[in-house]
């Protein structure tokens, strides 16, 4: 799959080309008020709900924007909504979501301590792998979420998220355990919880992948990710 065409150097250009209003998110530098921030975030969420840029809008029940703390230090990015997520409008609420909650708990975190989103905001039919044009249509939304949240660490859950963020076709096995950076933000690559449901034996690898994050949480420090 060619992921080299899935990220624009100017996400706003993609949105404009798709006929979607562009709402530039104000930086969190104290120059904006709380009401301004809420309005900007709500405007982006409304754009996602109205989006008809690709064919997935025809089969979705809900566009799944994301969930969690918009000021979180940790942003987890999955592949796309599944059946339960499409029905409820929230990411990671099925069995994979329950396993993700357990992983967060083991790290000393809860869902409300992080932000969770997906590369795609709409469910592909039968949970198939997202197509390059679908990723291209959705990528401006995710890029704006990342720019607004400004997380200290990104966690890519699964191959689709990792390949998208790193603009590579490399297998996830070769991406795990390596230092990565996305837009100057440290990036951890690990397996998707849905994969762990099929291959429970791989859970130990995920715990190993998340050790830098766990050490940071335990240290209660903003030291650079090692």
Could you tell me how far CA 175 lies from the centroid of its own chain?
17
Q: What is the pLDDT of residues 116-174, one digit of tens each?
A: 999 999 999 999 999 999 999 999 999 999 999 999 999 999 999 999 999 999 999 99
Q: What is the pLDDT of residues 20-43, one digit of tens each?
A: 454 444 444 544 555 666 778 999
Q: What is the pLDDT of residues 48-87, one digit of tens each?
A: 999 999 999 999 999 999 999 999 999 999 999 999 999 9
| Predicted confidence (pLDDT) at residue 5 exceeds the cutoff of 50 | no
Alpha helices in 1-156 (DSSP H): 11-17, 34-50, 83-88, 95-106, 132-149
* Token pair of 107 as six digits: 């790290």
Instruction: Give every CB contact of residue 37 below 8 A, 6+ residues apart in sequence.
Output: 26, 28, 70
Domains of the chain, residue spans: 11-219
Instruction: Give every CB contact of residue 197 below 8 A, 6+ residues apart in sequence.
Output: 95, 96, 99
Backbone angles phi, psi at 77, to 5 degrees: -125, 120
Contact criterion met (CB below 8 Å) for 134 and 54: yes
User: What percent of the chain has a predicted confidence (pLDDT) above 90?
Assistant: 79
Least confident of 13-17, 93-97, 148-152: 13-17
Q: What is the pLDDT of residues 172-215, one digit of tens each?
A: 999 999 999 999 999 999 999 999 999 999 999 999 999 999 99
User: What percent of the chain has a predicted confidence (pLDDT) above 70?
Assistant: 81
pLDDT at 8: 42
pTM of the model: 0.82
- Report the pLDDT averaged over residues 84-100: 96
Write the DSSP string, 23-34: -PPPPSSSSS-H
Residue 128, number of CB atoms within 10 A of its CB:
9
pLDDT at 39: 75
Cα–Cα dist 10/171, whole Å? 27
pLDDT at 42: 93
Q: Fold for domain 11-219?
A: Uracil-DNA Glycosylase, subunit E (3.40.470)
């Amino acid at each position: 799959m060619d992921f080299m065409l899935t990220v624009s150097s100017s996400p706003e250009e993609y949105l404009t080309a798709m006929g979607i209003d562009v709402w530039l998110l104000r930086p969190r530098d104290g120059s904006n008020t709380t009401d301004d921030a809420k309005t900007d975030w709500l405007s982006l969420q409304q754009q996602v709900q109205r989006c008809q840029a690709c064919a997935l809008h025809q089969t979705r029940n809900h566009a799944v924007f994301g969930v969690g703390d918009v000021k979180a230090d940790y942003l987890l990015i999955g592949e796309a909504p599944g059946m339960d997520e499409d029905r409820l409008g929230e990411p990671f609420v099925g069995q994979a979501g329950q396993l993700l909650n357990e992983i967060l708990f083991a790290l000393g975190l809860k869902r409300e301590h992080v932000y969770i989103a997906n590369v795609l905001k709409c469910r592909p039919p039968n949970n198939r792998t997202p197509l390059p044009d679908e990723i291209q249509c959705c990528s401006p939304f995710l890029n704006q979420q990342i720019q607004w949240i400004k997380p200290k660490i990104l966690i890519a859950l699964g191959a689709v998220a990792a390949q998208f963020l790193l603009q590579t076709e490399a297998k996830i096995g070769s991406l795990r355990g390596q230092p990565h950076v996305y837009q100057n933000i440290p990036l951890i690559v690990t397996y998707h919880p849905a994969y762990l449901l099929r291959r429970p034996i791989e859970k130990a690898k995920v715990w190993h992948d998340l050790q830098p994050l766990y050490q940071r949480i335990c240290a209660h420090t903003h030291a650079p990710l090692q």
